Chains A and B, each alone.
Chain A
Amino acid sequence: MKLLTKQNIVFFCIIAFVFAVSVVSWFIIRNIKIENPVVEIYKNGELTHKIELTSDKLDFTIIDDNSNVIFVGHKVGVIHADCPDKICVNTGFIDSGVFPIICLPNRLEIRITDGENELRLDAVAR
């Protein structure tokens, strides 16, 4: 039951290297900024809302079927959810980064893009 054999030291070095790479790439990804951000809200894989974040004084909330309350202003975020883990609420508000807000149980995704995707549903966007 030896922990520090030659093989294990190699393994621990690989683990340390992968850890360092992922931490560095995490910080690089975090600093990516999107110009002219557009919020895209996906529900069950369908794009339901598309809102420009640059518009002035745009404060409103969207309530979806699973009572995910989404607030859109200069930032977008989920302020209430009925899912058990509340990850989407705890993610907080996003405005120009590449990290989407995700609610796994309710299949909700809020993405910041530069507005390339077309709205497929006749949902009210503004």
Chain B
Amino acid sequence: MKTNTKKLTLTALFAVVALIIFIVEAQIPLPVHIPGLKLGLANIITLFMLFLGGFWKVRDVLLVLLVRILLAALIAGNPVGLLYSFTGGILSLLVMFAMKAAFKGAAIPVISVAGAVAHNIGQIAAVMLVWQSASVLVYLPALIAGGIISGLLTGFAVYFLFKTHPKFIGFLGGKNDIR
């Protein structure tokens, strides 16, 4: 496989930015305390990479996602949460990728919301499977509502990033034909 140095450097940079976002986000207190609910701002990087196009493929997004989840769990000192994060993260990426392919005209915030909700459903499904208990299901409505809010937040962040910085997108090797 031919590896482009610029791409390699940028991939590492994306992973670092995602981690920094994760660390900063951990300092922001939420008004409600629901297990598994968070802002999920690090998803901005996943979403951004997914829509870059050009030489950026889904496997690059997956790579950055896996690196971020693994390192974030180590930084937060919470390796047990890894399984839940992996399930949520991968399901989220799958849903976003499928939606992007299926609906050519779907806006970034729409796909972001679908991804965020999929993340939370994946997480709760993993907990139910591991715990063999359905009692966590009562948190599902809150997690869906929370996922919609955070999905809109990250979705519009990425949307405006694409809209206002076309030269930057070109520099990153992306194609500026996004929705």
Which residues of chain A have a CB within 8 Å of any CB of chain B?
1-3, 5, 7-8, 11-12, 15, 18-19, 21-23, 25-26, 29, 42, 45, 83-85, 87-88, 90-92, 98-100, 102-107, 109, 111
CB distance from A45 to the nearest CB of B (A): 6
Contact B81 A102 (CB under 8 A): no
CA distance A57 to B127 in the complex (A): 35
CB-CB under 8 A for A85 and B131, given A11-B110, A19-B145, A104-B35: no
Contacts A1-B179, A105-B80, A107-B80 known; A22 to B35 CB distance under 8 Å? Answer: no
Closest to B83 in A: A104
Bound state CA distance, A1 and B136, in angstroms?
40
Which residue from A1, A5, A26, A91 sits with its C-beta under 8 Å from B162?
A: A1
The complex places the Cα of A5 from the Cα of B109 at a distance, in Å, of 13
29 A-B contacts, Cβ less than 8 Å apart?
A: A1-B162, A1-B163, A7-B105, A8-B105, A8-B110, A11-B106, A15-B110, A18-B117, A19-B144, A22-B141, A22-B144, A26-B141, A26-B145, A85-B76, A87-B33, A87-B34, A91-B33, A99-B139, A100-B136, A100-B138, A102-B35, A102-B139, A104-B35, A104-B36, A104-B80, A104-B84, A105-B78, A109-B133, A109-B136
Q: Which residues of B contact A104 (CB under 8 A)?
A: 35-36, 80-81, 84, 127
> Which applies to chain B's interface (DSSP): helix, strand, loop or mixed?
helix
A90 neighbours in B (Cβ, 8 Å): 33
Inter-subunit contact B106/A22 (CB<8 Å): no
Q: Mark B residues whose CB is within 8 Å of A.
A: 33-36, 76-78, 80-81, 84, 103, 105-107, 109-110, 113, 117, 127, 131-133, 135-136, 138-142, 144-145, 148, 152, 159, 162-163, 178-179
Within the assembled complex, what's the spacing in Å between the Cα atoms of A42 and B134?
13
B137, chain A: closest CB distance, angstroms = 10
Set of chain A residues within 8 Å of B163, measured between Cβ atoms: 1
Q: Which of B77, B110, B139 contacts A84 (CB 8 A)?
A: B77
Q: Measured between alpha carbons, how far is A104 from B88 in the docked complex, in Å? A: 14
Please give the distance in Å from A57's CB to the nearest CB on chain B. Answer: 28
Are the C-beta atoms of A5 and B105 separated by less than 8 Å? Answer: yes
A112 to chain B, nearest CB (A): 10
Q: How far is the CB of A29 from chain B (nearest CB, A)?
A: 5
A42-B133, A84-B76 known; A99+B138 contact, CB < 8 A: yes
A79: shortest Cβ distance to chain B, in Å?
Answer: 14
Q: Which residues of B contact A29 (CB under 8 A)?
A: 138, 141
Residues of chain B lying within 8 A (CB to CB) of residue A3: 107, 109, 159
